[in-house]
Amino acid sequence: MIVVGGSGSAKLATALAKELDVVCAKTEVRKFPDSETYVRIFDELRGEDVVLVQNGYPDDRIIEMFLLQDAIEEGDAKSLVTVIPYYGYARQDRKFSPGEPVSARGLAGHFELDSDEVITVDIHNESILDWFDVDVKNVTAMNEIGKYLKNKGVDIVVSPDKGGIDRAKTAAIAADCDFDYLEKKRLDANTVEMKPLKSDVRGQVVAIVDDIISTGGTIITATKQLQENGAKAVYAACTHGLFVGHAFDKLRDACDEVISTDTLDNPASVVSVAPELAKAISKR
């Protein structure tokens, strides 16, 4: 087996190769003068089971993924598992107006090209997996995030909403603590109250966990209200840290720590999903 890492997931690919105790291929990715992408894989792939690790975000990484998949096919590999740590366009999983695409579905048909299996990480909506025609599985980073939170002495893990309660539960089991979700209650036209449905957070170390943190607005609001309700400390943790604009700085000012995984490389990437990916690949 050999791991090939695209430029959007180079560090994670290296970590995954180490977990699997296999070679991480040497690659070259650069731009032609006209901004088109050039890729090259230097290692021999003939007869190898290849694991390609590359994000579907931002757009130029998608083109790079397609080119790397074709290079692997040209290299006469025995099989290809495409690992998509962050699935771009996953939040565009339906159309709201005539003439719009269902972007997540459209990309599924391309992401699976030349692949025997596709693996995603905490994809925003697992129903997207139904649009793949090859074997596909989704792994969660919440076990690894929970282990990290356990070392921080977290007392309770909360989801920002009821829809994410399973993520909070998974992280809480690994952290050996309680879990809950935040209930939103509109007090007036300009004020929304967010507090745990059942738990008393006074004197507690609380972690808010989510799959994606983008602008950070919801997390910041929740953090302030948890602090007002007496939380001793509040951590913000996610699988995919997009941190659009100045979101990371705002979160860092509001929370005691901002935590994300290495699906996207950013200053908060302190948890690796490589162990969970290695388990999924080893079970093939």
**Which entry of 18, 184, 224, 250 is annotated as an active-site residue?**
184
* DSSP state letter for 280: H
Q: Which helix (H) or strand (E) segment is 156 a member of?
A: strand 156-159
**CB count, 10 Å around CB of 106?**
13
Please answer whether residues 251 and 234 qualify as being in contact, where contact means their C-beta atoms are separated by less than 8 angstroms. Answer: no
Do the Cβ atoms of 234 and 255 come closer than 8 Å?
A: yes
Alpha-carbon gap, residue 233 to 178, rounded angstroms: 15
Give the pairing type, strands 156-159 and 205-213. Answer: parallel
Provide the residue type at 46 as one letter: R
Q: Helix (H, G, I), strand (E, B), or coil: what is residue 76?
A: coil
CB 210 within 8 A of CB 165: no
Cβ-Cβ contacts under 8 Å for 124 (sequence gap 6 or more): 87, 90, 91, 93, 211, 212
CB-side neighbour CA atoms (13 Å) of 265: 13
DSSP codes of every residue in 125-149:
-GGGGGG-SSEEEEE-SHHHHHHHH
Residue listed under structure tokens 């391309």: 110
Q: Is 78 a catalytic residue?
A: no
Catalytic residue positions, numbered: 184
